[in-house]
Amino acid sequence: MSYYVSWRCLFLVLGILNSMFLSCSGCFIEERAALMDISSWFMSVQYMVPTSWGGDDDCCSWERVTCNSSTRRISHLDLSQDLTPYSPSMEDESSNLNLKIFSSFRELQLLDFSGQEANLQNFEGLQGLSKLKYLDLSDNQLFGGIPRSIGRLVSLEAINLNRNNMGGALQNIGFQNLRNLRELHLRSNGLSGSLPASLFALPFLEHLDLSENLFEGHIPINSSWNLRELYLTSNQLSGSIPASLFAPLYLEYLDLSGNFLQGPIPINSSWKCSSLLKTIRLSDNKLSGPFDFFWIRNCTKLKQIDLSRNTDLVVQVKMHGWVPKFRLRTLKLSWCNLDKSIITEPHFLRTQHRLKFLDLSNNNLPGSMPSWLLTNEVTLIYLNLANNLLVGSLDLIWQHQTNLKLVNISLNLVEGQLSANISLMFPNLVVLDVSHNIISGTIPPSLCHMSNLSVMDLSNNKFTGKVPSCLFTDCHSLDILKLSNNTLGGKIFDGASSFSADLWGIYLDNNKFEGTFPRNLSGDVAIMDLHGNKMSGELDTSFWDLPELRALSLASNGLTGGIHRGICKLTLLDMLDLSDNYFTGRMPNCSTSLYLEFLSVSGNSLSGLPDVFFNSTYITALDLSHNQFTGNLDWMLYLTQISVILLSRNNFQGQISSNLCNLQHLSIIDISNNILSGSIPPCIGGIPFGLLDDAYEYDGWPSGGSSTYELGDYGVDSLYSSEYDLSGFTFTTKGNPYTYGRNFFMSMSGIDFSANMLSGEIPKEIGNLSHIKSLNLSNNLFTGPIPATFANMSEIESLDLSKNMLNGSIPWQITRLSSLEVFSVADNNLSGCLPATGQFSTFDMNSYKGNNNLRSCTSSSGPMAPNGVAGSVADDSDPILYVVGAISFVLAFWATITFVFCHPFGQRLILKL
């Protein structure tokens, strides 16, 4: 017994000594050493380290470190993003972090290492953290799939691995072992496959966010789940929405937007709404059938409904004379088949006095402007009624609204004028968009007093008079000013030359501004579109101080003289459009070529070699047509990123080099009406016209940048974006010029080599261009036959081979071209039969005139007369007719022989003869 007591005393003494040691040293040595290793990593990637680290032996007193009060071991470690003022390069190996560095913290319950953008390695190094409950590694780089070892951290209650570039499937990851898990965040990765049913069987899971991945298939929901928040946005989920999704009693947030879900929403009048349900987001799907707001009448806590962009979903909002129990904050019904009575009979909306965010855009709603939406009783922050059929006057909606931040009534039929004291009506407005209406009058100077206004779009109306200069100089929060397509006039910028600091985009195109440009423009403006006005005089940019300018369009004015060398100072310029003016002389030879992506100087009188002005490796769209440029086309070899190149109606000469075939991003090429000679290189058939990879499809069309605005506390729901788009380019096809912009860029591909002196045979390899839409080789000196391989151009819509010296017959194979709308082989030396099947039965004789030996073979007819009227000679050129005739002759011959020599009647007949 005494022996046992002595041992107890010994343990008690050791415990006291250990406690005394801890109280003196502060924290465990191995944990302090691990923190110093973490500090070294921060310094290696040039991150800031808390100043208290290393200054005291007691690491429990350091910033972002929390220790257990009894054991003195570290329990919470918060190393989240605000430690990082800037990010390291992911190519730098110093950003690699071995997660085993955290293995010393044996009693760690919370680890937040979010926002570091580190290359995380060796996830297995966390396996010893058996007490870890909260793990946040979001906004890092955890390449590959989710580590299976995550299933061994059995105490985890919350996991956040958002935005980590992970991939692979969730199957067999081991989540079923995490029986305590309440939150799982895997947003914005590359995860794929179907959703594992085991994930929805976790007994305590309340928050599941798998948005913005590549999941597909059905949602494996069962009625026994305990989820409160479910986010599956922007995946590839398909099928119908399971009815069990609406069964749980604890569901608060439901977000399935941005998928391929279809069919009806499985709720009806007998549905018992969860008493906790606050959010329903089913936007950007393919849902159909009815959705009656009567079904959700008992959802007393419902705050947000978003059914937008389900064009077949019939949304019914009549509330049958009673007031719903819920008080919505957000209602988004854009691009739905919306009940038209929501505007004409606003019984439902009149009851929602707490509504802050309302989007009824793109529904073809008729009726008058709903002025009752802007009464003093309403607390709206965001109002979007764009793209409807609303009529009436603006005068009815001008009421004092201190909360309103966005008004968008664009694309309607609204008349009237802007209120002279609009700044008093909407003192906190951030976005004002009344574009594409019938609004008239002048622009009130009181707009300059709206201190929060960032976007003002008054384009496509009937405004007249001058633009107040204060809009350019005194609106210190204004980013975008759009006044395009009105009848505004006077001096450009009303004489102002120095722009306010935040002014990002100025759109004054297609008005009646006149006079010369200011010589001393200054500011940080990035977009300046002034095309389609009446500006005159020379363009002297030598004193411009616009270091941020990225897009400049001065097209369709009356500018004269040369292009001043001072434009070379605009080193950030991506897009330059000086087309349809009266510029003369040579392009300026800058000491450093501009890194332009889009350049158009068409419709001037420029001469010399054009490539001295731009950096060939950056240009993606180049329009030099209708000028007097000379020389050969060897400089085209270096246009490695070019998609659209228009060189028509110049004086280029020489031959088309086979180096042209290295331009693998080509979609449109027009070198017509020049003095080019020689043959077409056969390798042109290897250019994938109209078949670009996905990455290039996204970046192929130049953009001057965009600005995005967030309003209130609604996150992505309240973004208002503005992106600069070019006016497009003109390409002639089907005998007519068409203008193509961003929306049609990827849908058009074509070649126009017409009106040159090209010769030789047309290469049969051109037939490999299966995605090309237009081919024009007319007005040249081509000889030989039409290649039968043209039948492989399955998407071609316009084919012009007229006015050459082609001979032979028209290949019968090309009658397979079902997309062909315009066809001409006029004025050649073709012979044989006219094709008369498929699309070719729709072409008149103008397509074939000037070919005296062509004839119709559908009836007794002769050669084609010079006026294009077919003669009356039978056709014998179709190989199918030859084959059928030969087989018929052989069968008839042998049938006769058999009858004569084998049949008794035939034998008697021969003997009688």
| DSSP 8-state class, residue 882 | H
Cα-atom radius of gyration of the chain, to the nearest Å? 37
56 inside domain? yes
Which tops the pLDDT comparison, 233 or 143? 233
For residue 369, what pLDDT band results from cuts at 50, 70 and 90? confident
The token duo for 571 is 């080193």
Please give the angle made by the CA atoms of 264, 267 and 271, to the nearest 5 degrees: 170
678 inside domain? no
Q: Exposed, middle or buried, 172 (CB in 10 Å: 0-12/13-18/19+)?
A: exposed
- Please state whether beta strands 719-723 and 706-710 pair in parallel, antiparallel, or not at all (unpaired): antiparallel
pLDDT at 710: 59
Range of lowest pLDDT (49-63, 524-538, 725-739)? 725-739
67 inside domain? yes
pLDDT tens track for 738-757: 777 655 556 788 999 999 99
Average pLDDT over residues 675-694: 84
User: How many residues make up the chain in this entry?
Assistant: 913
pLDDT at 557: 96
pLDDT tens track for 15-42: 444 444 444 457 899 999 999 999 999 8
Q: For residues 183 and 204, is the Cβ–Cβ distance under 8 A? A: no
pLDDT at 692: 53
Q: For residues 160 and 181, is the Cβ–Cβ distance under 8 A? A: no
Looking at the fold, whether 379 and 445 belong to one and the same domain comes out as yes
pLDDT at 897: 57
Q: Is the pLDDT confidence value at 903 over 80?
A: no
pLDDT at 848: 94
For residue 311, what pLDDT band results from cuts at 50, 70 and 90? very high
The last residue of one of the domains, among 349, 380, 409, is 349
pLDDT at 88: 47
Looking at the fold, whether 420 and 287 belong to one and the same domain comes out as no
Q: Is the pLDDT confidence value at 695 over 50?
A: no
Average pLDDT over residues 212-236: 84
Q: How far apart are CA 457 and CA 455, in angstroms?
A: 6
Q: Is the pLDDT confidence value at 881 over 60?
A: no
The token duo for 216 is 């597909």
Range of lowest pLDDT (144-153, 245-254, 525-534)? 245-254
The last residue of one of the domains, among 472, 507, 542, is 507
Average pLDDT over residues 371-397: 84
pLDDT at 163: 92
Mean pLDDT across the chain: 84
22 inside domain? no
For residue 873, what pLDDT band results from cuts at 50, 70 and 90? very low
Q: Is the pLDDT confidence value at 325 over 70?
A: yes
Average pLDDT over residues 129-144: 91
To the nearest whole percent, how much of the chain has pLDDT over 70? 83
Looking at the fold, whether 167 and 40 belong to one and the same domain comes out as yes
Average pLDDT over residues 659-666: 90
Which structural domain range is residue 288 located in?
Answer: 217-349
pLDDT tens track for 481-512: 999 999 999 999 998 989 998 999 999 999 99
Q: How far apart are CA 222 and CA 144, in angstroms?
A: 30
252 inside domain? yes
Range of lowest pLDDT (151-165, 384-398, 409-423)? 384-398
Looking at the fold, whether 343 and 456 belong to one and the same domain comes out as no
Closest to 221 measured CA to CA, from 197, 249, 185: 197
| DSSP state string for 191-211 | EEEPPPGGGGG-TT--EEE--
Q: How far apart are CA 742 and CA 724, in angstroms?
A: 11
pLDDT at 895: 56
The last residue of one of the domains, among 507, 523, 558, is 507
Looking at the fold, whether 43 and 73 belong to one and the same domain comes out as yes
> Total structural domains in the chain?
3
For residue 705, what pLDDT band results from cuts at 50, 70 and 90? low
For residue 912, what pLDDT band results from cuts at 50, 70 and 90? very low
Q: For residues 356 and 383, is the Cβ–Cβ distance under 8 A? A: no
264 inside domain? yes
Q: How far apart are CA 287 and CA 240, in angstroms?
A: 8
- Please state whether beta strands 190-193 and 214-217 pair in parallel, antiparallel, or not at all (unpaired): parallel
Closest to 671 measured CA to CA, from 753, 759, 777: 753
Closest to 305 measured CA to CA, from 277, 263, 269, 276: 277
Angle of helix 904-912 versus helix 879-902 axis, rounded to 10: 80
Q: What is the CATH number of the domain that holds 448?
A: 3.80.10.10
Looking at the fold, whether 339 and 247 belong to one and the same domain comes out as yes
- Please state whether beta strands 65-67 and 74-78 pair in parallel, antiparallel, or not at all (unpaired): antiparallel
Contacts of 439 (CB under 8 A, 6+ apart): 394, 414, 415, 416, 417, 418, 458, 461, 462, 463
pLDDT at 16: 41
Q: How far apart are CA 160 and CA 175, in angstroms?
A: 14
Which tops the pLDDT comparison, 670 or 899? 670
Average pLDDT over residues 445-450: 94
Looking at the fold, whether 221 and 298 belong to one and the same domain comes out as yes
pLDDT tens track for 616-636: 788 889 999 999 999 999 999
Q: How far apart are CA 467 and CA 478, in angstroms?
A: 15
Range of lowest pLDDT (408-417, 652-661, 853-862)? 853-862
pLDDT at 743: 54
Looking at the fold, whether 257 and 228 belong to one and the same domain comes out as yes
Looking at the fold, whether 258 and 397 belong to one and the same domain comes out as no
pLDDT at 112: 95
Range of lowest pLDDT (405-409, 461-465, 855-859)? 855-859
Looking at the fold, whether 373 and 494 belong to one and the same domain comes out as yes
743 inside domain? no
Looking at the fold, whether 117 and 166 belong to one and the same domain comes out as yes
Closest to 703 measured CA to CA, from 595, 821, 826, 597: 597
To the nearest whole percent, how much of the chain has pLDDT over 90? 52
717 inside domain? no
Range of lowest pLDDT (511-515, 666-670, 882-886)? 882-886
Looking at the fold, whether 251 and 328 belong to one and the same domain comes out as yes
